[in-house]
C-alpha cells in the first residue's frame, strides 16, 4: 500500500513534522518498516523527478550512505543492510534515477546530475558526518559528489570496486575496459537487454553463486529503464575522474577484488595513488561484487573504517 502526498506539497529540502521528525515529506511505503518506523520513501530531486531512499535504523549513531552500481539498486546491499543496523548503524540506500524504484526520466545521467541528486537527499535528511560509500558506478558518483559539492556532510569516503578514474582505456590510461566492450553493452541494451544483462552477470562473481541468486541479480537489472541503462554506459565513455580524486580531503577506504573483470584491479591502484592518504584493501579470490563474494570480510573492513 502506497500513500501519496500531492506533488505541490513536495518541496525539498523540507521535513514534515512527524513523530520521529526524520522522514521527509514523501511518498511513504507503509510495508517498509524497521523497528516500527517507516523506512522507505521518495525525495524530489528536481521537478517531476523523485528518487527512492531506503533508510534503516534512522536513529543510529553513525550513518553509512550507500550508492549502488549499474544496473542495480539499493537492494544490492542487502547483506550489509541485514547486518549493520543490528550493530547500531544507520544505513541509507539510494536508488539512482532511472534505476530500482526511482523515477526514470529521459535525461540526467551524467555524474554531475547524479551527484546533485545525492546532495538533495543529504540536505533533505539533514545528514552530517556520514560515511559515503559507492560501488562501481556508485563509486564514481561518490567521487564526483566529493569534488562538486566539496564533500558536504561527508566525513569518510568508501569506494567499493569503483569505476574510477576511468572505466575504459584511454591513451593516457591503459588500465580499464576496452571501449568496444562498453559499446557492445550499449548496443546490447538497445537490441537484447536481457541477453546483455545475462552476459554481464557472468562477469561479476568470482565464486560460485546459485542460479536463483543470479536470477535475483538479473531481476534488479531489468527493473532499471533501458534508456537509463544505456545512458550510464555512455557516461563511462564520456567522463573521467582524475581531478575529482585530487579533491577528496577526507579519510578514504578502497575495497577492491583482485579478480574483478568489470572495474579492473589497476583502477584501485590508480585510486590509491590519486587520493591522498587513502587506504587500499585487496580482496583475494574476489570479483566485482565483493560484498557477496566475501561479505563477511567486506562488512568487517567497512565497520573498522567507520569506527577508526
> Mind listing the pLDDT tens digit for each residue in 50-81?
999 999 999 999 999 999 999 999 999 999 99
Residue 6 clears pLDDT 50, i.e. is over it: no
Of 136, 147, 166, 278, the catalytic one is: 136
Query: Which residue is listed with cell 523497528?
Result: 35
pLDDT tens digit sequence for 182-202: 999 999 999 999 999 999 999
Stretch 238-260: mean pLDDT = 99
Of 55, 103, 260, 293, the catalytic one is: 260
Residue 4 clears pLDDT 50, i.e. is over it: no
Q: What is the 3-state secondary structure (H, E, C) of 102-123?
A: CCCCCCCCCHHHHHHHHHHHHH
pLDDT tens digit sequence for 18-61: 223 444 444 434 335 445 555 789 999 999 999 999 999 999 99
The pLDDT value given to residue 172? 97
Least confident of 6-15, 82-91, 289-298: 6-15
The pLDDT value given to residue 10? 29
Domain count, the chain: 1
Q: Identify the bridge partners of residue 240 per DSSP, sorted by sequence position.
A: none
Give me the phi and psi of 99, to 5 degrees please.
-130, 160
The pLDDT value given to residue 137? 99
The pLDDT value given to residue 38? 59
How far apart CA 266 and CA 271 sit, in angstroms, is 9
The band of 167, judged by pLDDT with boundaries at 50, 70 and 90, is very high
136 catalytically annotated: yes
**Do the bridges between strand 62-67 and strand 89-94 make them parallel or antiparallel, or are there none, so unpaired?**
parallel
The pLDDT value given to residue 39? 76
Report in angstroms the alpha-carbon separations of 105 from 109, 116, 154.
9, 15, 28
Which range marks the domain in which residue 194 is found? 2-307
149 catalytically annotated: no
How far apart CA 20 and CA 37 sit, in angstroms, is 8
The pLDDT value given to residue 253? 99
Please, are residues 56 and 39 in contact by the beta-carbon 8 Å criterion? yes
The pLDDT value given to residue 37? 55
- Among 134, 108, 89, which Cα is nearest to 49's? 108
How far apart CA 101 and CA 114 sit, in angstroms, is 15
pLDDT tens digit sequence for 95-137: 999 999 999 999 999 999 999 999 999 999 999 999 999 999 9
- 238: Cβ contacts below 8 Å, ≥ 6 apart: none
The pLDDT value given to residue 24? 43
- Among 222, 204, 65, 213, which Cα is nearest to 142's? 65
Residue 176 clears pLDDT 50, i.e. is over it: yes
What ranges in the chain are assigned the alpha helix state H?
Answer: 78-81, 111-124, 137-148, 179-191, 193-204, 211-223, 226-238, 242-247, 265-274, 290-293, 295-307
Rg (CA), the chain: 18
CATH of residue 209's domain is 3.40.50.1820
**Do the bridges between strand 49-56 and strand 89-94 make them parallel or antiparallel, or are there none, so unpaired?**
antiparallel
Residue 11 clears pLDDT 90, i.e. is over it: no
74 catalytically annotated: no
Starting at the edge strand that comes first in sequence, how are the strands of the sheet with 252-257 ordered? Answer: 2-3, 28-34, 37-46, 49-56, 89-94, 62-67, 130-135, 154-160, 252-257, 279-283
The band of 5, judged by pLDDT with boundaries at 50, 70 and 90, is very low
Least confident of 15-24, 71-80, 171-180, 251-260: 15-24
Cis peptide before 165 (omega within 30 of 0): yes
Of 68, 74, 256, 288, the catalytic one is: 288
How far apart CA 228 and CA 97 sit, in angstroms, is 8
Amino acid at each position: 500500500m502506497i500513500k501519496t502526498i500531492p506533488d505541490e506539497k513536495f518541496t525539498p529540502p523540507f521535513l514534515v513534522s512527524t513523530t520521529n521528525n526524520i522522514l521527509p515529506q514523501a511518498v511513504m511505503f507503509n510495508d517498509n518498516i524497521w523497528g516500527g518506523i517507516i523506512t522507505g520513501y521518495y525525495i524530489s530531486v528536481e521537478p517531476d523527478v523523485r528518487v527512492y531512499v531506503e533508510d534503516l535504523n534512522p536513529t543510529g549513531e553513525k550513518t553509512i550512505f550507500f550508492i549502488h552500481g549499474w544496473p542495480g539498486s539499493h537492494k544490492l546491499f542487502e547483506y550489509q543492510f541485514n547486518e549493520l543496523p543490528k550493530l547500531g548503524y544507520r544505513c541509507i540506500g539510494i536508488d539512482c534515477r532511472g534505476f530500482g524504484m526511482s523515477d526514470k526520466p529521459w535525461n540526467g545521467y551524467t555524474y554531475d546530475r547524479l551527484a546533485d541528486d545525492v546532495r538533495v537527499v543529504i540536505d533533505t535528511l539533514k545528514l552530517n558526518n556520514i560515511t559515503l560509500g559507492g560501488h562501481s558506478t556508485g563509486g564514481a558518483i561518490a567521487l564526483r559528489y566529493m569534488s562538486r559539492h566539496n564533500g558536504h556532510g561527508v566525513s569518510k569516503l568508501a569506494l567499493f570496486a569503483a569505476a574510477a578514474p576511468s572505466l575504459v582505456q584511454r591513451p593516457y590510461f591503459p588500465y580499464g575496459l576496452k571501449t568496444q566492450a562498453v559499446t557492445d553493452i550499449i548496443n546490447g541494451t538497445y537490441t537484447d537487454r536481457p541477453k546483455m544483462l545475462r552476459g554481464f552477470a557472468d562477469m561479476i562473481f568470482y565464486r560460485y553463486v546459485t542460479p536463483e541468486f543470479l536470477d535475483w541479480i538479473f531481476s534488479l537489472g531489468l527493473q532499471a529503464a533501458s534508456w537509463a541503462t544505456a545512458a550510464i554506459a555512455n557516461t563511462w565513455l564520456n567522463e573521467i575522474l582524475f581531478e575529482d580524486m585530487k579533491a577528496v580531503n577526507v579519510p578514504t577506504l578502497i575495497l577492491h577484488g583482485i579478480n574483478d573483470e568489470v572495474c579492473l584491479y589497476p583502477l584501485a591502484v590508480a585510486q590509491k595513488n590519486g587520493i591522498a592518504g587513502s587506504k587500499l584493501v585487496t580482496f583475494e579470490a574476489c570479483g566485482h561484487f565483493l560484498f557477496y563474494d566475501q561479505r563477511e570480510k567486506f562488512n568487517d573492513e567497512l565497520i573498522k573504517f567507520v569506527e577508526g
